[in-house]
Amino acid sequence: MRRGLATGLLAGLVLGLLVIGTPAGAYHTHFQYGCNDTFYNHDPVTRADARDYAYIAAAEGYQWAGGCWNGNNVDDSPGDPVEDPHTLGEGGDCSGFTFKSWWERAETGDPWFRYHAWMQNVHGPYSAADFKAGVGAANVTVAKASTTYMDAFAASNHIGMIYWANTSFNQDRIIEAKCEACGTGTWPRTYRGNPDYSGVRRLYWAG
């Protein structure tokens, strides 16, 4: 009897672990379960306000098609598979981060400002390619040579905003949601002189 019970127990345990454990192995932090939909329409907004806002996301995570972060200076969902929105990780992707940092509205014909809570899970309607083309009533393309801080450089697959222009080696410090392994942060980049990138501006800053 005992041997039979033990054998069955072992077999059942293995089966239970396999049946439940295999799909569970694909689980993620599900950070976005704690996100919200809090926003406020707001005016006026300056470039400095926008940079202060973007700075909070530095050192947070990157999530493809994501949009919320908690400001604790930690990527709370590191190592998620790329291009999978179902991982529900922390952070925005490059275009979603730009949308929130530029206080844009989801209504593409409305150019005015909206404060998105850090934990608001919103990406916005624009891809990097859209920003590069100046899509949306709030956005225009500009010459890279005439850009200033909190303008952006956009390519077809990536966008980053100018955090501080002209370092001693003549790079720009860019604030961007870079990649899953990189997270979101500020890094010196050479996008300004790279022909893949175009200059983009959010209109109607108050200063």
Partner 1 sequence: MKKKWRWPLAGFVLGALVGATVLTVNVVGASAPEPVPMRAGGFGEILHTPALLARAHKPVELSYDVVCGALKDAPGSHCAPSGSVFVRPVGASTFVRLPLHEDDGLLSAVVPAAAVSVGFDYYVVMDNGRRRTARLPAAGAEAPQHVWALRDWTTVDVGAARFGRTRTPSAVVGGISWGRGDAAVGLDSGREQSRIGPSAFDVAPDGSVVLLDQVNHRLTALRGGRTVHVPIEFSGGEGDLAVGADGTVYVLDAATRPMVRAFTPAGSSIAATPLAEKTADMIRVGPSGPLVHSYPSEMWLPTGAGRPPFVPGRQLASAQPFRSVADGDGVVVRASPSEVKLALVHGDRVVRAWLLHGESSFGEVQLAEPYGDGMLAVVRLWDEHHAEFRVLRLGPEGLLESFDVTPAEWAESGSLSRFRLRGNALYQLRSGPSGVEIAKFQIGGTT
- In this complex, which beta carbon is closest to partner 1, that of residue 93 or of residue 138? 93
Write down the least CB distance from residue 114 to partner 1, Å: 10
CB 142 within 8 A of CB 109: no
Is residue 149 classed as helix, strand or coil in its secondary structure? coil
Q: What is the distance of C-alpha 164 from the center of its chain? A: 19
Q: What is the distance of C-alpha 74 from the center of its chain? A: 14
- In this complex, which beta carbon is closest to partner 1, that of residue 27 or of residue 109? 27
Write down the least CB distance from residue 203 to partner 1, Å: 18
From the list 98, 111, 90, 106, the residue with the least C-alpha distance to 50 is 98
From the list 126, 52, 70, the residue with the least C-alpha distance to 93 is 126
Write down the least CB distance from residue 165 to partner 1, Å: 9
Q: What's the chain's length in residues?
A: 207
- In this complex, which beta carbon is closest to partner 1, that of residue 37 or of residue 83? 83
Write down the least CB distance from residue 61 to partner 1, Å: 9
DSSP string, 45-102: --HHHHHHHHHHHTTS-B-TT-EE--SSSS-SSTTPPTT-GGG--SEE-HHHHHHHHT
Write down the least CB distance from residue 129 to partner 1, Å: 9
- In this complex, which beta carbon is closest to partner 1, that of residue 93 or of residue 104? 93
